[in-house]
Structure 1
């Protein structure tokens, strides 16, 4: 599908648009390492139901580009939230349904927590995705530390060189480990792997995984947002949490006891037979959840 370029904040964002222009806006946000193709089973039925579906490539992916060479190539959580808010502003979206997983779920959770008036409802895979950076140096149980091997690898210069030289193979290995039951084809993977050839992919990814563990400085322009996120703000908008039962990096136990994080209407569903790349593997629960959260349009 063709995309349009939208100037939004620090980025020129590549965006795919579906459905009627006057439909209730829904923004679908992909994760790492993935791209907009993860939503191919979700966007068309939503568009057919009358929604205006907005599917952006995140910073560092596909055709999306930083506007200024001097802008830090940052994948920190505040950048993802700021990007989403700027995109909504640029498209004239006053309020939207937000759905995302992994990095995209983090962006959606941040906007829902800090700017709830902009969010009609939230569908977030794996639960509350706002990082608690203040506690990031505290060790976790060994099994969980093992699942994050790729993060520790990217803290080293060897890891940076490895991702640079082997980005397609590196990311494909993560797909296999994180969604072990997903019958991924070579053709499907190749279409999305092209998005990792973005010239800023490696720098953005490395900074993301270093910043969350206090091993890299953040973008000074985003310090205000990071300070607000340090308080671990609750999410007050209506929320559905989806979690793949076979998720190889964030297993369902991680979202079992998070009800205190969600102060509005809330439900959680574990999706049998699906892993981390949940929109690809099980698109229908996303469609159902977003239609469940439907309310009167508030598009400005």
Structure 2
């Protein structure tokens, strides 16, 4: 079970970002963004497929994971969507990438959606699991169906101090349970899980996670540094860049039926695809389908 090494590091905004890079340095750039609770090894099979097709492929650890570190102890350990978008934009700037295809799921897909919506000139194309992934915090307290509420138990758990203590006590056990619940047909082995779980042994993992799941429900304030971005996201901005969106038929946290409701949030060319036998971690469960979607956008941008 190979790890994605060696890692490079670069200062970008409030972070020193650890990332894996492959493919030619002058190839069309692609950034692959992981989710919670996963890490860059989500793309262990996707990245080589893209690099082999000539893409400059960059897979960063998000804030609170792996080798990525905050530059200052004074920076709030925010997990809000505005921070994720700002981190991705800062990384593009630091790497001197004017425009790239942005692809991701869960937290990483949200970061990609934020940049695609607010800075479309920086996004050559978007691949996003679960379609429009920008949170509508103003409506977060509206109850959902009982089935959907049941799947969000972990979010409500993290709203309490008992949940914070539980995550601090055994983050790996919680993550492994979520992997099983969210991708019920994915038969991952111990080595695959442990390869990613090493990224959760991070001094800020718990704080970033807890803040993320409290902020999205309006229970805690965001980092004032991102207030302007937060205000823009509250308007639920339309995504105008070319997009390919996915849903795994067996996704245990975000039901595919929600995808139709997101159509109005895309005004550019968009293809939505349902993938049978796949859950929430689509890039790792169906790497060829994910890589093909990225390449389709790369070629379209060219």
TM-score calculated relative to the size of structure 2: 0.97
Specify the SS of the correspondent of 2:261.
coil
> Does structure 1 residue 257 correspond to structure 2 residue 257?
no
Q: Is the 8 A contact 1:7 1:13 kept in 2?
A: yes
> Does structure 1 residue 144 correspond to structure 2 residue 140?
no
- Aligned position for 1:33: 37
Alpha-carbon offset, residue 296 of structure 1: 7.7
Q: How does 1:62-141 map to 2 (within 5 A)?
A: 62-141=66-145
Deviates more, 1:250-259 or 1:267-276: 250-259
Q: Which stretches in structure 1 are left out of the alignment for 5+ residues?
A: none
- Aligned position for 2:49: 45
Alpha-carbon offset, residue 295 of structure 1: 4.3
- Aligned position for 1:286: 290
2-structure distance, mates of 1:132, 1:40: 32
For residues 193-225 of structure 1, the C-alpha deviation after alignment (integer angstroms, 9 at most, x for no partner) is 010001000000000000000111100100000
Alpha-carbon offset, residue 254 of structure 1: 1.5
**Stretches of 4+ moved more than 3 A in 1?**
295-298
> Does structure 1 residue 183 correspond to structure 2 residue 187?
yes
Q: Is the 8 A contact 2:158 2:164 kept in 1?
A: yes
RMSD, matched Cα: 1.0
Q: Is the 8 A contact 2:125 2:301 kept in 1?
A: no
Specify the SS of the correspondent of 2:173.
helix
Alpha-carbon offset, residue 257 of structure 1: 2.8
> Does structure 1 residue 59 correspond to structure 2 residue 97?
no
Identify the match of residue 238 of structure 2 among 214, 228, 234. 234
2-structure distance, mates of 1:287, 1:152: 34
Q: Is the 8 A contact 1:26 1:97 kept in 2?
A: yes
Identify the match of residue 252 of structure 2 among 226, 230, 248. 248
Alpha-carbon offset, residue 24 of structure 1: 0.3
Identify the match of residue 278 of structure 2 among 274, 280, 291. 274
- Aligned position for 2:21: 17
- Aligned position for 2:166: 162
For residues 83-111 of structure 1, the C-alpha deviation after alignment (integer angstroms, 9 at most, x for no partner) is 00000000000000000000000000000
Alpha-carbon offset, residue 297 of structure 1: 7.3
Alpha-carbon offset, residue 31 of structure 1: 0.2
Q: May I ask how many residue pairs the two structures share in their alignment?
A: 298
Q: Is the 8 A contact 1:7 1:90 kept in 2?
A: yes
For residues 213-248 of structure 1, the C-alpha deviation after alignment (integer angstroms, 9 at most, x for no partner) is 011110010000000000000000000001111000
Q: Is the 8 A contact 1:24 1:297 kept in 2?
A: no
